[in-house]
Structure 1
Amino acid sequence: MRSAPVRAIGLQVNGDHFDIECDPRTTLLDALRDHLGLTGSKKGCDRGQCGACTVLVDDRRVVSCLMLAVSAQNRRITTIEGIDEVPSGATMQQAFVDHDGFQCGFCTPGQICSAVGMLDEAKHGWPSSATADVSEPHNGVLDDDEIRERLSGNICRCGAYVNILAAVRSVAGDVAAGEEKS
C-alpha cells in the first residue's frame, strides 16, 4: 500500500501565515485542528450538516469539513480564535455570554462565526428565503424570521436557540443602527 502524497500549502489564518504539509485531501477543518492546533472549530457531523465547523473564508461562511485545505490557499481564513478581529466579532461573542447563548458550548464557535458572517451578508443586501422580496437587495434589517432562516444551517443539540436568537438579535440591531462596537 502506498502512502498518501504530501503537499506543502500555505494558509492565512487569523492574520498569520502558516506553512503546513498535508495530504491534498485534507479538509480545512482537519488542517486547522490537526496541523495548526486551532481546536475551536468542532467536528460534529463531518458532512456539512451541523455547522459546528463554520469558519469565515474571505469573510464568507464556510463549513470547513467540506472545504479542502488546498482550496483555502491565498484566502483569508477566520476561526473562532480570531473572530474578535473582524467587524462585530467581539460584540457577538459578548452577546452570546450576555444572553446565555450556549449550553454545552459545542456548537457555539460555529454559531458565532456563522452569525458574524450572516450579519455581513445582510449588510451587503443578500436576501434569504425569508426575505419578503428576493428580487431586491435585502434592507439589512433582521427580524427573528430572517435570523432563524439565515442561521438554519447551524444546529444546537441542546436547544439553546431562544438565547442564540436573542444574542444575534441584539448585535443585529446595533449593526443596523450603525452602532457596532468591535
Structure 2
Amino acid sequence: MHVADDSERIAASLGRRLDELTFQDATTDQVTELIIDAVVGWARAAGWRVYRRASSVLPLPPPLSGQYSVLDVACARPAGPPVVIEVDHTDRRRTVEKLLAEAAAGRVAIWVRWGTGRFVAPPPPVGLVTCVVTRRSGPAGQGRLYSRVPADDRPPPAHSGTPIGSTDAVALPIPTEEGDRLPAVDR
C-alpha cells in the first residue's frame, strides 16, 4: 500500500473514532489530553504498541540542538511503517515541520487539529484529522471552556423567549379594520 493511501485510511479511521468523543466545559489542556487519550485508545484497539511523548527525528532548535522534539503519540504497527500523531488546537509551523520530518523518515504522519473550525490542511503527505468543538468564556479567571456533544444529542435552538399559547382558527380572508375583506390568495 502506498504511504499516502495508508495516511488517508489511517486519518479516516482516527477521524471516525474522534467523532465519538464528547466532553463538557473542558480547558485547553484537558481537551488536548482527552484527545490524546482517545488516540491512544484507538491505536491500542488496532493492536499497535503505543508510546506517549516519543522522541521525534527532528532536533530542537539552538541552543537545545542536542535534544529532539517530542511527539504526542507514536505507534508501532506489526505491518506497515510507524504512525506518529500530533494534537494541537493552534496552527503551529513547528508541528508541520516535525510531521514533515517524520514523514520523510518513512512514518505515517497525522495531525489532529481541534478547535472551532477554519483548519488549514498541512502539506502532503501529512494527514489531517479535525475535531470541531464549541467554546465559551468560563468563570472569571478560568479562561475559555470547550465542549463537544454528539450531533444527535444537541438541544434544539431557542426560537423565541415568548411562550406560545393556544390560538383560535381564523377564517380567511381576514377582515381589515375598515370592515373590508382582503382577497383570498391562491397557492
TM-score normalized by the length of structure 2 = 0.24
Larger Rg: 2
More helix by share: 1
More strand by share: 2
TM-score normalized by the length of structure 1 = 0.25
